[in-house]
Amino acid sequence: MRWVLAATVVLFGCTGSIMGNGPGPGGAGGGTGLDPSSPSACTGAPIDPGPLLMRRLTNAEYRASVELLLGVDAAAEVALFPADLRRTGFDNAFDLQTVSVPHADRYHAASKALVARVFADPSRRAALLGCDPSGGNRTTCLRTFVARLGRLAFRRTLEPEEIDTSFTVTTGETDPLEGAQLAARALLESPSFLWRAEVGPALTGPELATRLSFFLWGAPPDEALLDAAERGELATPAGLEAKARELIADPRARASFERFTDMWFGIDKLATTSRSASAFPQFGDATRAAMRDELHRLFAKHLWAESVPLLDVYTTRTGWLSTELAGIYGVTASGEHDWADHESRGGLFTTAGLLTLTARNDFTSPIQRGLYVRETVLCEKLTLPAGGVPPITIMPGETQEQAESRHTSDPACTGCHLRIDPVGLGLERYDAVGALRTQYPDGKPVKLAGKVLGLDVPDYAGGVELGRIVRTAPAASRCAVQHVFRWAMARMEDKGGIDACTLEQLGDRFESTNQSFTELVVALATHDAFRSRRPNEP
C-alpha cells in the first residue's frame, strides 16, 4: 500500500503527501501502522514533546471555566467574544491565539456581568463566598474567598502575593460585597486565568492535571482533581492512567468529545448551514437538528460503546431517523434503523448531515466532497504547486468548459484534480441535503462512479462503497490518531519528524485494541509527549 501511494504522488505530480508516506526518522518505520514485524527504531527512544506556547482559554473553555468557578452559564457573554481561529476544524491551535483589544474588551464586560449575576442571587452569593464578609470578619472572609476562587481560576494554589493583589482590589469599596465582586472580576480577567501558562522546567502536578482536564473534559480541573494532583497522584504512570480512566468515565468527557468529533468532521458547521429555499423548501432548524442528532448518535456509539471499532463509523448499517431525515432518506421508519443491504445507505458517507455539510447552498460540489475525504478522513495534505494555481481565465473564443478543461489538464493542476474530483463524483447520487437523485435540476443524469486514486481499489459508486474502501485504508486509521493528537497537543503533528515515534506508538496501540477510542485517548494522555514539556527558551 505504501509504495502504491508513493508512486501515485510522483505519477500525477501533485505535491500532496499522505500521512506516513514521507521520509522520516527510522526510514520505513517512520510512519504508523506499518509492518509490525520490522523492528521499530522508536522503542525506548526519548520523546520530544514539541513546541508549546501558552494556551489561551478557547471560548468553549472559558464557558466551562465560568461554569466551574461561578456556577453560571456564560453562553450569552461568550457569544460576543471574537471567534476562535481554527486549524483543521479545531479551535485550540495555540499559535493562533491572542488577546486583542476586542478580546480584552469582552472579557472585561463578561466578568462584570457574570459576577453581578451571581451576586444578585443571595443564596448563590453566600455559596460562592463561603463566609459572611460583613463586620469584623471582612478581611479573613475576603482573603479566604480570594484564595479558594483563585485556586480554581489559576488552576493551582495561589502564592501569598497573588492573594494580596486580589484582596487589595476589595479595599477601595466600603461595601464588602462590592469588594468581593471586584476581586472575582479581577481573577476572571487575569492573564493567569485566561492563559494556561506552564512555567517550570518540568510539569507540576496541577499543570498536568490542567492538561488532562482540558483534554478529557474540555474544562479546568475541579477541586478534587487539583487536590489529587497536589498530593502527587499524577506523578506515576499508573496514577496518571487511573486518573485518566476516571475522567473518561465522567459525563463531562462525553460532552467534550462530542465537540471533538464535531470539529474534526465539521459537524458543528451544520448549525449554521443554510440551503436554498427554492431548491429545498423543507430545510430548516428541525432538519439541521436532526442531522446533527444522527451524527452525534453515530459517533457516541463508535467512540464509547464496548468493543465497537472507531472506524466502523464509516461502514455501520445503523442509522437514526427522525421525521425530517426519513423524508430525505425516502423511508417511513423512525428511530434506530437498520439499513441492512440498502445499496446507497449505511455509514458516515451516506448520512444527510455529512452530505449537506460538504455541499453548497443549492448544488453539490465534487471538489468539496473530494477534498473532505482527502483531508478530513485520510489526513492528506494537498499542497499547492510552488507557482500557485493559475486562475481559470476564459481566453478569446473559449467556452467556460474549455477553459476549465485547459486548467485541469495543465500539468501543474492535473495531479491534484485527479486526486480530488473523482472522489466526490462517486457521491453525486446524493444531492445537497443528502437525498438520492438520478439527475441534476437541468435534467442531465448524475455521475455515478467515483475513484479514490492512491488507494489500490477499483472505481466505487455511492457512499456505502466509499465507506468500505476508507474503512480498510491504513491512512484512515492513522488519520484518527492524528486528529486526537492535534486536539490533545493543540498543534499539527510533525509526522516525519519529532512526532513520528509518538504517532507510531499511538497507532500501534489503537490497532492492537481493535481501534478502541478509549484506549487511544488513554494512550495519549499517559504518553511522554503529553506529560512532559520542552524547557522555556532563554
Footprint of another protein on 425-464 (CB under 8 A): 425, 428, 440-442, 447
End-to-end CA distance of the chain: 45
186 binds another protein (CB under 8 A): yes
Residue (1 or 367) nearer to another protein, CB:
367
Say if residues 137 and 131 touch (Cβ distance below 8 Å).
yes
Q: What is the 3-state secondary structure (H, E, C) of 406-436?
A: HHHHCHHHHHHHHHHHHHHHCCCCECCCCCE
Query: Judged by CB under 8 A, which of 99, 131, 235, 457 binds another protein?
Result: 99
Residues 204-263 that bind another protein (CB under 8 A): none
- Segment near another protein (CB under 8 A), from 62-70, 132-140, 156-164, 480-488? 156-164
- Nearest distance from residue 493's CB to another protein, in Å? 16
Say if residues 176 and 142 touch (Cβ distance below 8 Å).
yes
- Segment near another protein (CB under 8 A), from 104-112, 116-124, 220-228, 451-459? 104-112
- The region, left, alpha or beta by phi > 0 then psi within -120 to 50, assigned to residue 490 is left
Contact characters 196-215, another protein, x per CB under 8 A: -x-x----------------
Any bridge partners for residue 26, and if so which?
Answer: none
Residue 417, classified by CB atoms within 10 Å of its CB into exposed (0-12), middle (13-18) or buried (19+), is buried
Query: Judged by CB under 8 A, which of 137, 157, 282, 405 binds another protein?
Result: 405
Separation between Cα atoms, residue 63 and residue 53, nearest integer Å: 22
- Segment near another protein (CB under 8 A), from 5-13, 297-305, 421-429, 519-527? 421-429
Say if residues 485 and 523 touch (Cβ distance below 8 Å).
no
304 binds another protein (CB under 8 A): no
The DSSP-derived string for 489-503 is HTS---TTTTTHHHH
- Segment near another protein (CB under 8 A), from 70-78, 233-241, 288-296, 357-365? 357-365
Q: How many C-beta atoms lie closer than 10 Å to residue 3's C-beta?
A: 9
Q: What is the 3-state secondary structure (H, E, C) of 144-165?
A: HHHHHHHHHHHCCCCCHHHHHH
- Segment near another protein (CB under 8 A), from 79-87, 133-141, 306-314, 472-480? 79-87
Residues 41-60 that bind another protein (CB under 8 A): 53-54
498 binds another protein (CB under 8 A): no
- Please report where in the chains the cell 469584623 appears, as a residue: 136
Separation between Cα atoms, residue 353 and residue 293, nearest integer Å: 9
Separation between Cα atoms, residue 460 and residue 448, nearest integer Å: 8
C-alpha torsion 36→37→43→45, nearest 10: -90
Query: Judged by CB under 8 A, which of 42, 72, 74, 169 binds another protein?
Result: 169
Residue (294 or 428) nearer to another protein, CB:
428
192 binds another protein (CB under 8 A): yes
- Nearest distance from residue 3's CB to another protein, in Å? 28
Amino acid identity for residue 397 in this structure: G
Residues 110-129 that bind another protein (CB under 8 A): 111
- Pairing between β-strand 318-321 and β-strand 449-450 as defined by DSSP bridges: unpaired
- Nearest distance from residue 98's CB to another protein, in Å? 5
1 binds another protein (CB under 8 A): no
- Nearest distance from residue 392's CB to another protein, in Å? 6
Count of chain residues binding another protein (CB under 8 A): 76
472 binds another protein (CB under 8 A): no
Residue (199 or 286) nearer to another protein, CB:
199
Query: Judged by CB under 8 A, which of 2, 103, 254, 301 binds another protein?
Result: 103
168 binds another protein (CB under 8 A): yes
Residues 126-155 that bind another protein (CB under 8 A): none
Residue (304 or 440) nearer to another protein, CB:
440
Say if residues 356 and 363 touch (Cβ distance below 8 Å).
no
